[in-house]
Structure 1
Amino acid sequence: MSWNEPGGGGNKPKDPWGGGDNNGPPDLDEALKKLQERLGGLFGGGGSSSGGGSGPAFSGVAIGILLLVVVVIWAAMGLYQVDQQERGVVLRFGKYYELVGPGLHWNPPLIDDVTLLNVTKVRSVSFREIMLTQDENIVEVAMSAQYVINDPVKFVLKVRDPERSLSHAAQSALRHVVGGISMDMVLTEGRVQIAIDVEDRLQEYLDLYETGIFVEKVTVDEGKPPTQVQAAFDDVIKAREDEERVKNEAQAYANGVVPEARGAAQRQIEEANGYKEQVIANAQGEAERFTRLLEEYEKAPQVTRERLYLDAIQTVYAQSSKVMVDVEGGNNVMYLPLDKLAAQSPRVNGGDGQLKVDSTNIRELTNAVTEQLRRDAAVSERRRGGR
């Protein structure tokens, strides 16, 4: 029903502000007064207009105090502390504004959004995957990666979930490296090289994605065949260990025999060379001695012959302890026991009991033999004359 619709006891229009019946326009002052009374009632000013104009003034002070408290609380919400190991990424209305360092800072709340990141903490991610090697064998590899945040801005803004991207990139890098080597390298001595290759490739991926992450170390914790074929792989590893053991034993035996054989061969070669040099030197010496002897023989033949004879007798007697002498023209053979003669004569017998004959002894023995031969010849001559 319209406010000016006729009703009641007459044709007078109704006042929408609660006034009485009148024919003029509504009273604006009265309307404003009623509005102030309602606002004063809301903020503790009361609904009565008694007491003059103090009600509206009191309501204005309350509103100012309330606004001041709200502003103080809002300003206090913008204070924050950044630790020494942290960095703060400030976004203003969702857009990058600045990067703040350690210390006390203030940013307007509800306008700026601050994300604090620890840039010195070493984080880690680990996983275990089954993958295929280059020789088409299946292996199970466990790997862990340690990383830090080196660019907070990229870490916050460039990638939605950097740590998840790191995990996916690490798995991809590991599969790429393991897929390019054989199973033996994964199970035995190739883990260190695998970790180095994965670390380089993983850092390359993260730099390409602009994740703001720096990988400090990658470790291949374990590399083993799947559980279903573990027994067969154990037998293979045992056979490989036996093969290495036999190779090492054979190598040790070769290391002992080959140098010894080489040493013996070298010794024989040196002995042969020494014998060769000795024979050549003796031959040259004999030739030289014969030349000198020939010169002396041409100067004094008789003396030289006698000396040669004595030398020959000395050589023969030095190597024999018994001498048999055949007397010319007789039937007797004279026997000279040189060993017994040497035992009786200290000049002939050395201190060690062996026969030692020099030129003096040879002359004495020669004289004795000659004298004996003369006696035997004289006896034989007399016997023949008596007949």
Structure 2
Amino acid sequence: MNWKAEFSPEISMLTRIGRRLALCLVALLALAYLLSGIYGVGVNETGVLQRFGRIVDARIPPGLHYRVPWPMDRVVKVPTGEIHHLVAGFGADPEQVAEFERGYGPVNESGFGSFIIPYCITGDKNIIHLKLVAQYRITDPEKYVFGFKDAKSVAVRCIQSAIVRTISRSDVDSTLMTGRVILQKQILEDVQQQLSELGTGIAVFSTEMKNARPPATVAQAFKDVINAREECRTKVHDAQAHRNRIIPQGKAEASRMLNDAEAYKNRKIAHSRGESQRFEMLACEYLKDKETTGQRLYLEAASEILPVVNKVILGTNNGESIANVKFFTQEDVVGK
């Protein structure tokens, strides 16, 4: 019995089905391969398209896009819309401290192990430790991804070199207290210039000094100086407040006294002028009628003088003196 001849129709049908399934599978795989070229770029991202390693498009905007599937095309997504942070400076590095402590024991900043803590030197030859926090954006995705192996590390080195140059031109007081805002601005300008010249694709737009401090061995002395300056500033402010309070009061009192003196002067001048005019009028009247005017002036003077003095009146009786003497006080005269 020839089983091949007996089952040949079924074998032929299975062969055709297998071929069709294989074709469908190949078609599905090809479709999946082609669909794998669809990719999306986020809202805060910019895509960089490479074809066989060569950059084809370095500014792919957010949205859905298509590329030739792997291995021909490759897309690198760069977060250009986000704000990134860098911490750089000269202080205790946790990794270095941990490694040192594993081998040699605890680090004492004022003694053994202090050499592993970086520092920078100010223009007046003082040692300080400080950290600086920088905020930056990625402005050129192509330079950021392909210009350097690690553009972020390059930015950190640029910040450190800017700190060294800027701090070396400043004194310790300006660095730790009074001139920090100016120093931050100078460091920012220096970093921006370096990154622009190197072409890192990074733009730093903000720098802030953190944890600027002297070494532990002299920290207390610096603290005492700062406290003394704060106390001096407080006393100066109190003195200025007292001055600002007293001076207006003194000026107001002086103005009041000047006004009173001016009013007194005006009263005296007016009174003197009135008396002068009155005297001139009386002189004219006296020249016209000396006897009558003189008698009137005498009586007026007596009426003004007698009420304010003690008086003794001696009378006579037919030319003989009277022994009884009467004394009148001012109140008696005024009452009568």
* Superposed pair shares fold, TM > 0.5: yes
Q: Say which one has the larger Rg.
A: 1
- Mapping 1:175-324, distance limit 5 Å: 175-318=164-307, 320=308, 322-324=310-312
User: How far is the alpha carbon of 1:215 from its aligned partner?
Assistant: 2.7
Letter in 2 for 1:84: V
Assess, with a 3 A threshold, how the Cα gap between structure 1 residues 227 and 294 changes in structure 2: closer, same or farther.
same
Which residue matches 1:156? 145
Q: Spell out, residue by residue over 1:9-60, the C-alpha distance to the aligned partner (whole angstroms, 9 max, x if none).
A: xxxxxxxxxxxxxxxxxxxxxxxxxxxxxxxxxxxxxxxxxxxxx9xxx9xx
Q: Which moved further from structure 2: 291-300 or 193-202?
A: 193-202
Q: Which moved further from structure 2: 65-74 or 101-110?
A: 65-74
User: How far is the alpha carbon of 1:100 from its aligned partner?
Assistant: 1.7
SS at structure 1 position matched to 2:43: coil
In structure 2, distance between residues paired with 1:95 and 1:303:
135
Q: Which moved further from structure 2: 81-90 or 238-247?
A: 238-247
Q: Is the 8 Å Cα contact of residues 159 and 209 (structure 1) preserved in structure 2?
A: no
| 1:101 aligned residue (58, 61, 80) | 61
In structure 1, distance between residues paired with 2:176 and 2:217:
16
Structure 1 unpaired stretches of 5+? 1-53, 346-387
Which residue matches 1:374? none
In structure 2, distance between residues paired with 1:142 and 1:327:
114
In structure 1, distance between residues paired with 2:137 and 2:333:
108
Q: Spell out, residue by residue over 1:230-282, the C-alpha distance to the aligned partner (whole angstroms, 9 max, x if none).
A: 11111212222222233233333433444444444444444444444444333
Which residue matches 1:338? 330
In structure 2, distance between residues paired with 1:295 and 1:181:
91
Structure 2 unpaired stretches of 5+? 1-11, 91-118
In structure 1, distance between residues paired with 2:238 and 2:176:
24
Letter in 2 for 1:142: K
Assess, with a 3 A threshold, how the Cα gap between structure 1 residues 254 and 302 changes in structure 2: closer, same or farther.
same
Q: Spell out, residue by residue over 1:101-131, the C-alpha distance to the aligned partner (whole angstroms, 9 max, x if none).
A: 2233232322223211122222111134232
Q: Spell out, residue by residue over 1:275-306, the C-alpha distance to the aligned partner (whole angstroms, 9 max, x if none).
A: 44444333333222221221122233233223
- Mapping 1:29-178, distance limit 5 Å: 74-98=33-57, 99-108=59-68, 109-129=70-90, 130-178=119-167
Assess, with a 3 A threshold, how the Cα gap between structure 1 residues 311 and 194 changes in structure 2: closer, same or farther.
farther
In structure 2, distance between residues paired with 1:133 and 1:314:
95
Letter in 1 for 2:50: L
Q: Is the 8 Å Cα contact of residues 188 and 204 (structure 2) preserved in structure 1?
A: yes
SS at structure 1 position matched to 2:300: helix
User: How far is the alpha carbon of 1:334 from its aligned partner?
Assistant: 5.3
Q: Is the 8 Å Cα contact of residues 159 and 211 (structure 1) preserved in structure 2?
A: yes
Assess, with a 3 A threshold, how the Cα gap between structure 1 residues 182 and 336 changes in structure 2: closer, same or farther.
same
SS at structure 2 position matched to 1:180: coil
Q: Which moved further from structure 2: 193-202 or 69-78?
A: 69-78
User: How far is the alpha carbon of 1:95 from its aligned partner?
Assistant: 2.4
Q: Is the 8 Å Cα contact of residues 327 and 334 (structure 1) preserved in structure 2?
A: no
SS at structure 1 position matched to 2:132: strand
Assess, with a 3 A threshold, how the Cα gap between structure 1 residues 85 and 255 changes in structure 2: closer, same or farther.
closer
In structure 1, distance between residues paired with 2:73 and 2:224:
65
Q: Spell out, residue by residue over 1:290-341, the C-alpha distance to the aligned partner (whole angstroms, 9 max, x if none).
A: 21221122233233223322332233245x1532346699687653333034
In structure 2, distance between residues paired with 1:70 and 1:161:
37
TM-score, structure 1 normalization: 0.62
Q: Is the 8 Å Cα contact of residues 123 and 148 (structure 1) preserved in structure 2?
A: yes
Assess, with a 3 A threshold, how the Cα gap between structure 1 residues 317 and 177 changes in structure 2: closer, same or farther.
farther
Q: Which moved further from structure 2: 330-339 or 290-299?
A: 330-339
In structure 1, distance between residues paired with 2:138 and 2:123:
34
SS at structure 2 position matched to 1:240: helix
RMSD value, Cα: 3.4
